[in-house]
């Protein structure tokens, strides 16, 4: 166990070791869930576009998985195991680079960010049944959890634990929602196993995320030249 914990710290220090003013600001934006609201709105739109009357139930299932994922990660893991975040670990003070002195809450295992984004990823991937979207949402989720390492807010094991929990929660709520919807709309049961999201619509979702990332990158570069941050 001691060897694993030491490896966890060394990996965190490696992930956290390379910094620049530009990437510090970028990571602070990317790590904030509210930054991705335009993307989430578009996902909700496509759920309505392809699921019609069922959409409300799928959105309720999505909301519940986010809620329960946060509750489980916080109350069944963080508050019970009470593993300090690296940003709160006295032994790592001065070693872990914190951006704008942002340290987060006290405990970090498991990562609620990792739980949320991977629950969202598996749920929407199973719902949309589009390979392009599945690859994209996996890469997006990995970018989000990487920001937590870059910012010194989690150890790699915090992230891996959150990923595992998120995948479990997301898949559970997908199956529960599918079971409930199939009872309400039995005539559509066969269609549920076909591809839902078209490749062109998957491209639109990807384009929105890329546009968000490029826009904030352009803005930050301009502000850095003007002496901000």
Query: What value does the mean pLDDT take over residues 74-93?
Result: 93
This prediction has a pTM of 0.93
pLDDT for position 1:
74
pLDDT value of residue 186: 79
Q: pLDDT class for 189, splitting at 50, 70, 90?
A: low
CA proximity to 196, closest of 67, 58, 91, 102: 58
At 191 the pLDDT is 54
Residue 18: what pLDDT? 86
Among residues 197, 40, 61, the alpha carbon closest in space to that of 117 is found at: 40
pLDDT at 120 over 70: yes
- Which residues are within 8 A (CB) of 31 and not within 5 positions of it... i.e. 6 or more apart? 113, 144, 147, 148, 151
Residues belonging to the chain: 229
pLDDT in tens, 139-186: 999 999 999 999 999 999 999 999 999 999 999 999 999 999 988 887
Burial class (CB in 10 A: 0-12, 13-18, 19+), 182: middle
Structure tokens at 211: 């546009």
């Amino acid at each position: 166990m001691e060897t694993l914990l030491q490896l966890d710290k060394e990996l965190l220090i490696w992930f956290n070791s390379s910094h620049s003013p530009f990437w510090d600001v970028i990571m602070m934006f990317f790590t904030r869930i509210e930054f991705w609201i335009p993307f989430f709105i578009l996902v909700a739109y496509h759920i309505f576009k392809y699921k019609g009357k069922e959409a409300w139930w799928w959105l309720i299932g999505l909301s519940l998985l986010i809620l329960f994922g946060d509750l489980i990660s916080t109350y069944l893991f963080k508050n019970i195991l009470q593993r300090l975040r690296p940003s709160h670990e006295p032994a790592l003070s001065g070693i872990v680079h914190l951006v704008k002195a942002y340290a987060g809450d006290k405990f970090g295992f498991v990562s609620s960010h990792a739980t949320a984004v991977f629950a969202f990823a598996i749920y929407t991937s199973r719902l949309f049944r589009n390979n392009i979207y599945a690859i994209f949402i996996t890469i997006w989720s990995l970018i989000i959890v990487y920001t937590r390492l870059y910012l010194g807010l989690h150890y790699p094991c915090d992230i891996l634990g959150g990923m595992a929990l998120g995948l479990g929660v997301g898949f559970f709520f997908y199956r529960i929602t599918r079971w409930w919807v199939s009872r309400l709309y039995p005539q559509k049961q066969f269609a549920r196993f076909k591809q839902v999201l078209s490749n062109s619509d998957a491209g639109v979702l990807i384009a929105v995320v890329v546009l968000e990332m490029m826009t904030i990158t352009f803005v930050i570069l301009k502000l850095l030249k003007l002496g901000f941050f």
